A and B are shown apart, each in its own frame.
Chain A
Amino acid sequence: MSSVLLVTGGGGVGKTTLSAALAVTAARNGVRTLVVTVDPARRLATALGLKHLGSEPSPHNDEANLWAAMLDASASWKAIARRHASADVASRLVDNPFFEAAAQHFPASQSYASAEEMANFVEARAWDLVVVDTPPSAGGIEFFSAPAEMRDLVGGRLLRWLTGGGLPGRRALFRLTARPALRVAGTVLGSDLLERVAEFLMDLRTTYDGLARRAAQIEEHFREARTVVIATADPAPLREAARFYRDLPDMVPRPDAVVFNRVLPADWHNPEPPADGALVDNLVRWGAEAHRQTEVRQEFAALWKTEVATVPWRPKTPTSLDDLAALITDAHGLPLEGLGVALR
């Protein structure tokens, strides 16, 4: 079985770039590595210098131990229906107008679809390491709780809500809508909408056994995975990162590393003797920012009793394998062996 490295964090922190950088580093250390990202995958393709990135892992032409793939979550959702439901139910589900909506509305469903794909790659045993750039919409924790959420959804939480108790058979559904309260709902909604929703949920429910089994396996992968949380010194990414240290659900492992990206040199806040007014002004401004960053990192480390690693701020997004590898070489405090990126 491959080991798994989950790269998580809020939007815009450079998660995809650092996933690629860690994967390139691992490959160069002789670890057979697959890096997967979720759609939109343009960033990963650009970073790795690839023109095209498909849902099947393809080997990288210029790096012997590196493979890459992207996950199309909406296609995966249809695959889930086909995998876990009988053929006729599956096609009825996929054609149902509620299906698309449910797939979009449940943040868990997109994450779960990605997680199932991830599990397939892990179990293929073709790689030593699978690096997962987790879904941006999930931001963080939701990726880990997605299997449980999906099990709950498909298992009939909504259906029970809808019916106010037990899970009815298909025929009972029509008796059900004769209830006064649901008749009011019918008036308000103006149609047989509730019945259509209930029917959809009942179809969905037939996927339960298969899905529940798979969800348990995925959670097992999560427990064994290593995780790295990427943050920057900005408020939103910091909040996302902090969630990994607070009220952690038991299927989520404590992060193996928290990495601050776009870090300025700590010694910038002592301007040198003036050379040119504008140059000094500029250093004073960036020095203030460097100072703030240092304080934010120290606060985070003290509050959550953790080490923090840093990756220096590079003005240009890397577009070559060497640029990517350099990001990790220039990083401080990254436990590469612990993350499975370097061999012990």
Chain B
Amino acid sequence: MLERRLIIVTGKGGVGRSAVSAALALRAVHLGKRVLTVAMTDDLGLALHLGRERLDYDAREIRPGLHALAVHRPAALDEYLKVQLGVPGVTRMGPLARAFDALASTAPGVREVITMGKVLWEVRKGTWDLVIADGPPLGQIGSHLRAPLTVSELVPVGRVREQAGWMMDLLRDPSVSGMLLATLAEELPTTETKEALTWLEEHHVMERPLVAANRTLPPLQVTGRKIKEAGPGPLRDAARLHQALYEEQQRWMKELPPDVQLPYLFGLHTPPEVAARLADVWGEG
């Protein structure tokens, strides 16, 4: 997975998308790669897991080998116009920037293509060995991945359309781009992740993603009789809770077998602690 140039991490809200993104980035840095992490929508989650208050639009060094940025509009729009479309002096072009902003809020795919454009541009530039994008939530991943195509359908000619071509090519190339779907072994995340996998298969905008089940519990190596013998009290209650949760998780993992299992981290307090531990786990295979 870490051999690609781009990994987009997505998942239903609350499954630990940012934690997994930060962990992957830390692991890649550990392997000696020069890594950029990008917060595509909300930057707070990724920032906290990297031990920051927030992230800037310009890439900042978090630690040696690791940079991070957040795609903020209108900075992304500005850069898109300047760098990708070759429209100079955007600041003097108030109405144009405004028009684009109105468009980005209304026309299908334009907002997404600006966000995806920033990520893919960082991949194309070649400054980084690996770009890890803390992507949009699962519900928005389709519209983001399809954005270049949507825009080229909407705009029959012109420079925006030209830009869409190389973006699609980069996304489609499995030696360049990969995706990680973070999920939980619970009902709703499982259902929605399966739906997303079906969508991805039908639209083949990217290779089949890796599915990572987060917060999975280890089996409890105790017989039911032993648990019963423990008698009333926390010892028995904790064992029963664990058993029931474990069985529930197994049931959902049968429904959607994950490629990777990440452990439930008991009693870990801060987001950077969580990211560091997950990075270690990833390293242990």
Contacts and interface: CB of A to CB of B under 8 A. Distances in A.
Interface in B234-285: 234-242, 244-245, 248, 266-269, 271
Interface string B71-87: 00000000001000101
B47 to A, nearest CB: 11
Nearest to A136: B13
A311 B158 CA distance: 57
A289 B263 CA distance: 14
B98 A164 contact: yes
Contacts of A237: 14
B241 A286 contact: yes
A153 to B, nearest CB: 8
Given A191-B157, A289-B266, A279 B230 contact: yes
A286 B242 contact: yes
A interface, by DSSP: helix, strand, loop or mixed? Answer: helix
A130 to B, nearest CB: 24
A182 B97 CA distance: 10
Contact of B14 (A43, A236, A278, A288): A236
Interface residues of A, number: 69
Contact of B12 (A11, A105, A264, A288): A11
A234 B139 CA distance: 21
Given A161-B98, A185-B99, A315-B241, A190 B159 contact: yes
Interface in A206-247: 234-237, 239
B25 to A, nearest CB: 17
B105 A158 contact: yes
Q: For the side of the interface on B, what is the size category?
A: 35 or more
B99 A268 contact: no
Quick one: which of B48, B189, B230 has the most chain A CB within 10 A? B230
Given A102-B106, A188-B159, A161 B99 contact: yes
B188 interface: yes
Quick one: which of A136, A283, A288, A316 has the most chain B CB within 10 A? A283
Contacts of A292: 267-269
A3 to B, nearest CB: 29
A339 to B, nearest CB: 24
A98 B95 contact: no
B59 interface: no
A146 to B, nearest CB: 15
B106 A98 contact: yes
Contacts of B103: 189, 193-194, 197
A285 B234 CA distance: 12
Contact of B106 (A187, A197, A271): A197
Contacts of A236: 13-14, 18, 45
Interface in B62-112: 81, 85, 87, 93-96, 98-103, 105-109, 111
Contacts of B81: 188
B interface, by DSSP: helix, strand, loop or mixed? Answer: helix
B157 A190 contact: yes
A279 to B, nearest CB: 5
A285 B267 contact: yes
B31 interface: no
A200 B103 CA distance: 11
A276 interface: yes
Interface stretch (B32-40, B166-174, B219-227): B219-227
Interface in A7-59: 10-13, 42-43
Interface in A280-318: 280, 282-283, 285-289, 291-292, 295, 313, 315-317
A272 B235 contact: yes
B143 interface: yes
B196 interface: no
Contacts of A287: 234, 238
A104 B142 CA distance: 12
A100 interface: yes
A337 interface: no
A101 B234 contact: no
Contacts of B226: 275-276, 279
Contacts of A317: 187
A190 B161 contact: yes
B105 A105 contact: yes
A14 to B, nearest CB: 10
B158 A158 contact: no
B181 to A, nearest CB: 15
A314 B100 CA distance: 49
A317 B96 CA distance: 52
Contact of A159 (B95, B102, B189, B234): B102
A83 interface: no
A181 interface: yes
B189 A12 contact: yes
Contact of A313 (B15, B85, B241): B241
A188 B269 CA distance: 49
Nearest to A235: B271
B155 interface: yes
A283 B242 CA distance: 9
Given A12-B184, A43-B187, A286-B266, 17 more contacts: A12-B14, A98-B106, A101-B107, A106-B105, A164-B95, A185-B99, A197-B107, A234-B14, A236-B14, A283-B239, A285-B266, A286-B242, A289-B266, A291-B267, A295-B269, A313-B241, A316-B244
Interface of B: 12-15, 18, 44-45, 48, 81, 85, 87, 93-96, 98-103, 105-109, 111, 137, 139, 143, 154-161, 184, 187-189, 191, 220-222, 226-227, 229-230, 233-242, 244-245, 248, 266-269, 271
